[in-house]
Amino acid sequence: MDLDLTADQEALRGVFADFFASEAGPDRARAAEPSGVDSHAWERLLETGAPGMGLPESLGGGGASLADLAVVAEELGATIAPLPLIEHAVSARLLASIGACPDPVVEGTEIATLALHPAQAGTSRLVPAGAVARHVVALDGGRLVLASGDAPGTALGNHGCLPLAHRQLDGAAVLLEGPEAHAAHARALDEWRTLTATALVGIARTALDLGVAYAKERQQFGQPIGAFQAVQHLLADLPGLVDGARLLAAKAAWAGDTDPSGTDGIVNLNDNDITDFATLAGMSLVVAGEAATTATDRSLHVHGGYGFAEEYDIQLFYRRARAWSLVLDDPARECRRIADLLLGAA
């Protein structure tokens, strides 16, 4: 049992908190709308080694664990950095696990991503980072494929200004077939769930900070609105929700690191004893999505009319909280999928 970050992880957090704040913070996210990617910031990110951080050192990567990547992902979410780092990291790890990761992907000079849903008629719809990724890893008719080619460069206009695009899989290379293809994609998708959950925790954290800061500063009726209990209680439920979501995502990352084969985890609903990575990854995305949605909703409300105005940052966080948590699926459907893991299929 150890619920603290390691000293190395604390240092990592500090480095990336500083990097995102100076190179890719909310101002840059605002400026990067509607495409959702700041290519100059991505160039700078290459210097940190972050794109290949989660790959084995033997490939020239940083050898980081999923738990380490989660530390970075929270800071990315906390600054809504317009960088496709999570998609790149999980798809590169998948490619590396089967010995198919191109060197430019390790370096990050070429961006890779993961199609979340199986392709339909040779097209992967709404691929996150699909607007900027050269390489798309996708499930297509039971095969895991890698489609490489020029990125469209423009995103489908969307709620959270995510770099979403539909991608054709014409001429894609087949990486795996059958159960292995599904297993590899499922593992990568669970890593995506875990890191996206952690990024959503970052969104929730900053949304809460913004709401609290505004409540201390904004004066009405001769006092800060944060002195009113009705306002306080909107905010006071949030630290537990945010911290709980962070702990669950961290537990998912721990499970993913300690049980890479995904075969040793426990799923005991009756005893509330769950160490299975897939189950925890799904759970963490649901909770973190709720935390980010609730925190941005309440924080925006505390801002009053200004929260609705483009000028204030909270609206940037509000829209990304929804986009990041819904781009995979309706949380209710995710819950029914989790129920299958807990209870067996209906």
Q: Which residues bind other proteins (CB under 8 A)?
A: 1-5, 67, 212, 215-216, 223-224, 226-229, 232-233, 235-237, 239-241, 243-245, 247-248, 250-251, 254-255, 258, 269-272, 274-275, 280, 283, 286-287, 332, 335-336, 338-340, 342-343, 346
CB 215 to other proteins: min, Å: 7
Rounded distance between C-alpha atoms, residue 283 and residue 121, angstroms? 31
Nearer to other proteins, 246 or 319 (CB): 246
Task: Tell the smallest beta-carbon distance from residue 287 to other proteins (Å).
Answer: 6
Q: Which is nearer to other proteins, 58 or 229 (CB)?
A: 229
Q: Which residues partner with 274 through β-bridges?
A: 267
Q: Which residues pair with 124 in a beta bridge?
A: 167
Secondary structure (DSSP) of 230-271? HHHHHHHTHHHHHHHHHHHHHHHHHHHHH-TTS-S--EETTT
Query: Which is closer to other proteins, CB of 88 or CB of 251?
Result: 251
Q: Tokens in use for 259?
A: 């049980």
Query: In this complex, which beta carbon is closest to other proteins, that of residue 156 or of residue 227?
Result: 227
* CA 235 – CA 224 distance, rounded (Å): 14
CB 185 within 8 A of CB 273: no
Least distance to other proteins, CB of residue 241, Å = 6
The set of residues, in sequence order, having a beta carbon less than 8 Å from that of 345 and lying 6+ positions away, is none
Q: CB of residue 29 vs other proteins: minimum separation in angstroms?
A: 25
Q: What are the φ/ψ torsions at residue 167 (nearest 5 degrees)? A: -130, 130
- Specify the pairing of strand 267-268 against strand 273-274: antiparallel
Q: Is 80 helix (H, G, I), strand (E, B) or coil?
A: coil
CB of 233 to other proteins, least distance (A): 5
The CA-based dihedral angle spanning residues 338, 81, 201, 13, taken in that order and rounded to the nearest 10 degrees: 120
Cβ nearer to other proteins, comparing 4 with 150 = 4
Work out the widest C-alpha separation in the chain, in whole angstroms: 68
Q: What distance in Å separates the CA atoms of residue 153 and residue 194, rounded to the nearest whole number?
A: 27
- Indicate the residue among 85 and 215 with the shorter CB distance to other proteins: 215
Are 94 and 116 in contact by the 8 Å Cβ rule? The answer is no
State the DSSP H helix or E strand holding residue 274, giving kind and residue range, or none if neither.
strand 273-274
91 vs 279, which CB is nearer to other proteins?
Answer: 279
Q: Tell me the closest approach of the beta carbon of residue 129 to other proteins, in angstroms.
A: 27
Work out how close the CB of 157 gets to other proteins at its nearest, in angstroms, rounded to a whole number: 31
DSSP 138-178: EEETTEEEEEES-----PPP-TT----EEEE-TTPEEEEEH
Least distance to other proteins, CB of residue 153, Å: 38
97 vs 275, beta carbon nearer other proteins: 275
CB-based contact 250:70 (threshold 8 Å): yes
In the complex, least distance from residue 181 CB atom to other proteins, rounded to whole angstroms = 27
Beta carbon nearer to other proteins, 42 or 277: 277
Q: How far is CA 122 from the centre of its chain?
A: 26
